[in-house]
A and B are shown apart, each in its own frame.
Chain A
Amino acid sequence: GENVEQHPSTLSVQEGDSAVIKCTYSDSASNYFPWYKQELGKGPQLIIDIRSNVGEKKDQRIAVTLNKTAKHFSLHITETQPEDSAVYFCAASVTSGTYKYIFGTGTRLKVLA
């Protein structure tokens, strides 16, 4: 069945350093890959997304890369700040039919001041 693997499960970085979270997906029909940030006690919120016709996308300190051949995609956060501390989820979806989102297991990011 459809599956998304996410690594690492926890990640601690010093403030100002970069953080990288990696995901792999199994369904070759997936063509939309969002990343969600979940702060304590809140629902997940979209921070960036990428479609399968694009290899990289940036939004200020956040970037996402996609390797369709290898079925890998990654989230890169540069110049990390304490407010980046949260749980991050990757997801894969097919933008037709049911629009189901299959999520990874999450990465708890801690930015140490």
Chain B
Amino acid sequence: NAGVTQTPKFRVLKTGQSMTLLCAQDMNHEYMYWYRQDPGMGLRLIHYSVGEGTTAKGEVPDGYNVSRLKKQNFLLGLESAAPSQTSVYFCASGSGGPLNTEAFFGQGTRLTVV
């Protein structure tokens, strides 16, 4: 059982380049999330989705776009990368509902923008 899989695991971008981070989950979860993790700032929510075809902004959405065309996939896009987007990015998924509250995380993508 793979759980939540993120690709790529590492990436170096030049300022202004674009890229897409892919998150795939095989648990049939409705809810998916993208977080960024920076030293001393914990995990901050970028965007999230409450179901296929839906997306919503989190705490720090500027400079990012997302799409949820298929239930199992949640894509995070950077149209024009900036050094401030250097971070570790985590995808998570959850089934939602008052009794099914655990969020499962991927292994992370370390992105460096130079």
Contact = CB atoms under 8 A, between A and B. Distances in A.
Contacts of B59: 1, 102
Contact of B48 (A9, A95, A100): A100
Interface of B: 4, 31, 33, 35, 40-45, 48, 50, 56, 58-59, 90, 92, 94, 96-98, 101-108
Interface string A21-61: 00000000000101010000111111001000000000000
A32 B104 CA distance: 15
A78 interface: no
B81 to A, nearest CB: 22
Nearest to A107: B42
Interface of A: 1, 6, 9, 32, 34, 36, 41-46, 49, 89, 93, 95-96, 98-106
B108 A43 contact: yes
Contact of B42 (A6, A41, A45, A99): A6
Given A32-B101, A49-B102, 18 more contacts: A6-B42, A36-B105, A43-B106, A43-B107, A46-B103, A46-B104, A49-B101, A89-B42, A93-B101, A95-B97, A99-B50, A100-B45, A101-B33, A101-B103, A103-B35, A103-B42, A103-B44, A105-B42
A98 B42 contact: no
A38 B90 CA distance: 12
A42 B42 contact: no
Contacts of B35: 103
A17 B45 CA distance: 34
Nearest to A101: B103
Contact of B101 (A1, A36, A95, A103): A95
Nearest to A106: B42
Contacts of B107: 41-43
